[in-house]
Amino acid sequence: MTQEIEIAGLSKVFGQGASAFRALTDINLSIDTGEFFTLLGPSGCGKTTLLRMIAGFEHPTGGTLKIAGEEMAGKGPNARPVNTVFQSYALFPHMTVAQNIGFGLKMLGKSRSEVDTTVAEMLRLVRMEPMADRKPSEISGGQQQRVALARALAPRPRVLLLDEPLSALDLKLRKEMQSELKRLQTETGITFVFVTHDQEEALTMSDRIAVMSAGRILQLGTPHDIYHAPAERFVADFIGDTNFLDLPVTAISGDVATLTLPGGQSAEARLPAGYLPVIGETVTAVVRPEQAVLGEPGSGMLSGTVASSVFFGTDTHLHLTLSDGQDFILRRQNTADLPVPQPGTPVGITLGAGTLRVLRS
Amino acid sequence: MAKSFSVRRLPGFGAIALATFVMLYLPIVVLVVFSFNAGSSQSQWEGFSLQWYAAAFANQQVQEVSIRSLWLAAVAAGVATALAVPAALGTTRVSRFPGQTMIYALINQPLMVPEIVTGIALLIVVAWLKVHTGYTGMGYLVLAHTAFCIPFAYLPIRARLETLDATLESAASDLYASPFQAFRFITLPLLVPGIAAGFMLSFVISLDTVVITEFVKSAGQDTLPTYMLGQLRRIITPEMNAIATLFLALSLIFVTAFFLITRKRG
């Protein structure tokens, strides 16, 4: 697989001297051709700055950025084979839907007939044919979103950049557009770089995710890796619900550590790559709430008591207090009409094999 | 239940508001009414007549100064608007630079400096120029009016630019437009209402300017307002009312157009 975007040692500092703000630090990244790649992080983590640098709206303070093997330094947005779907859509209000979609091709100097053909094709692709002659103010938010997509796809860019494009839509429309985006990406085969702060959006749509915080990439991997094998506390905390347990290490064998659980039982936990704690050290281990199974008191590896429970319909979240006082959340699927345990009920907790993981600290 | 504060319930609010409107508009109403007076009195109604309008239209001098006023306003407003567009772009579509506020203040200087001061300053400079160059044509008036009109053209254009999402220009350049193409196809068409408003406003301002014209003009360069001022020193006939009413109507047309243009946004 070829690499569409290669970023090495990229950094960005805004301002100078005492008021300087380091927006990005040492970003190394390569994005494959045809990949759906997501930059995920909270607001202010630098994900949009990184996107704007790929687009050419910002220029790096250091490092290199290559698109399709070509160094992009000194090239403006109009000289890069990438197009952007803006958060606000930024449709040209004085032009019709068709004129908006055709704008990029017109600027590239394509012939009138080629522009018309591509615009018609794009209108079909985003199912907006009946709206071709409307102005952006005369169509709904979801439709504007489709036009913004069609406009960015029309010049057939190497890479499509999407800056939180779904954040302005309501939940139902957002779900629709998620599958629509996935469909468009598959149909066009264009590399998508998608920026979002919504972890669910990132997990469901991406081939790979880079989790960012404070201007750095903390972890880069498939949605599966990011969810099941978070390397750092921030990643584990930002994506999904997690139980954090502080446990002492009693033995290490390869990349597996043996930890002592509250109550004295031992459990094995996978270590993140490149992290080796010493015997006796207390590390933070994580287990997802749905990976723990509720049992009778005395069963399983952990014991605790029920502090409270919240009924969610498909599942019930049980807030437990472990024997050593640490909190633990357990998610029980409501596969049958099970009684909800009352607060104070003693319970046993079984952890599935391989579910406990040590975080880098 | 406590009611929210409303200035309209303050004692005397209605009376003061009414008095203000009366003070502003009653004299204008009187002026307009007596322009249709059949007699030559400003105080005694002698029946309806259009004779003073006929007289005004037939007056060679009125024709001459009106035409001069109109073309002077058109040229001054045109040049001022053409200069105000790059000025507005240069003060909004750039990252902040040292001295930006200073430049903003300088552009708007004619709004701040008393007109009489500008008038006397221009009088001195223009008199000096006239002596040294021998040129006494309309150029001085055109220049003076243009300079005076720039802030009136600049402010609506700038206001329009500030409401224009700069992301649109980013989107244009992302879609392969050169900076000039982005301006030509995106910024300029969206700026048209601001430009038109700026032109209208400066046109009206130029039409109306008395003080500066009075100080800068050479002999035989009266504009409509300075001509009217000159006439008032003699006898006031309702012909003056008729001219003033026509002048008012013209200004109203422009101000209404300005309002309609600026109201329709997006």
Q: Which long-range contacts (CB under 8 A, 24 or more apart) does A219-225 make?
A: A220/A29
Between helix A97-107 and helix A141-153 the angle, nearest 10°, is 20
pLDDT tens-digit profile of A147-183? 999 999 999 999 999 999 888 788 888 888 888 888 8
Q: Specify the pLDDT at position A16.
A: 83
Count residue pairs from A and B with Cβ separation < 8 A.
Answer: 59
How does DSSP classify residue B160?
H
Q: Specify the pLDDT at position B264.
A: 61
Residue of chain A nearest B165, judged by CA positions: A90
User: Given a cut of 90, is residue A299 above it in pLDDT?
Assistant: no
| Top mean-pLDDT range of B95-104, B114-123, B177-186 | B177-186
B2 occurs within a structural domain: no
Contacts of A83 in chain B (CB under 8 A): 174-175
Q: Note whether B86 and B40 are same-domain residues.
A: no
Q: Specify the pLDDT at position B151.
A: 92
Q: Specify the pLDDT at position B266.
A: 40
Interatomic CA distance for residues A329 and A306, integer angstroms:
10
Q: Note whether B157 and B107 are same-domain residues.
A: yes
| Dihedral in degrees, nearest 10, Cα atoms A312, A313, A314, A318 | 40
Residue of chain B nearest A79, judged by CA positions: B176
Q: Note whether B21 and B107 are same-domain residues.
A: no
Q: Note whether B77 and B188 are same-domain residues.
A: yes
Query: For chain B, give me the number of helices (H) and strands (E)?
Result: 13, 0
Give the closest-approach CA distance of A201 to chain B in angstroms: 25
CB atoms within 10 A of CB B234: 8
What range does the domain containing B41 cover? 10-49
Q: What is the mean pLDDT of chain B?
A: 89
Q: Note whether B75 and B14 are same-domain residues.
A: no
**Candidates B171, B176, B177; nearest CB to A86:** B171
Contacts of B190 in chain A (CB under 8 A): 93-94
B162 occurs within a structural domain: yes
User: Given a cut of 70, is residue B2 above it in pLDDT?
Assistant: no
Residue of chain B nearest A94, judged by CA positions: B190
**Candidates B167, B176, B185; nearest CB to A155:** B176
Least confident of A42-51, A264-273, B253-262: B253-262
pLDDT tens-digit profile of B105-151? 888 887 888 889 988 998 999 999 989 998 888 999 999 999 989 99
Q: Note whether B75 and B30 are same-domain residues.
A: no
Q: Note whether B159 and B246 are same-domain residues.
A: yes
Contacts (Cβ under 8 Å, ≥6 apart) of A164:
A48, A87, A195, A196, A197
User: Given a cut of 90, is residue B257 above it in pLDDT?
Assistant: no
**Candidates A93, A104, A137; nearest CB to B176:** A104
| Integer-rounded Cα radius of gyration of chain A | 25
Residue of chain A nearest B95, judged by CA positions: A15
User: Given a cut of 50, is residue B42 above it in pLDDT?
Assistant: yes
Contacts of A152 in chain B (CB under 8 A): 174-175
CB atoms within 10 A of CB A340: 13
| Top mean-pLDDT range of A23-37, A298-312, A346-360 | A23-37
User: Given a cut of 50, is residue A347 above it in pLDDT?
Assistant: yes
C-beta atoms of A92 and B181 within 8 A: no
Better pLDDT: B264 or A33: A33
Q: Note whether B74 and B93 are same-domain residues.
A: yes
Average pLDDT over residues A131-155: 93
Contacts of B167 in chain A (CB under 8 A): 86, 88, 90
Q: Note whether B100 and B220 are same-domain residues.
A: yes
Structural domains of chain A, ranges and CATH numbers in brackets: 3-233 (3.40.50.300), 241-358 (2.40.50.140)
C-beta atoms of B175 and A83 within 8 A: yes
Q: Note whether B122 and B92 are same-domain residues.
A: yes
**Confidence grade of residue A207 (pLDDT, cut at 50, 70, 90):** very high
Give the closest-approach CA distance of B178 to chain A in angstroms: 7
Q: What is the mean pLDDT of chain A?
A: 91
Q: Note whether B183 and B244 are same-domain residues.
A: yes
Average pLDDT over residues A281-303: 89
Provide the CATH number for the domain around residue B136: 1.10.3720.10
CB atoms within 10 A of CB A173: 16
Residue of chain B nearest A156, judged by CA positions: B175
Q: Specify the pLDDT at position A1.
A: 60
> Number of structural domains, chain B?
2
Unique residue bearing structure tokens 């995106």: B186
User: Given a cut of 50, is residue B58 above it in pLDDT?
Assistant: yes
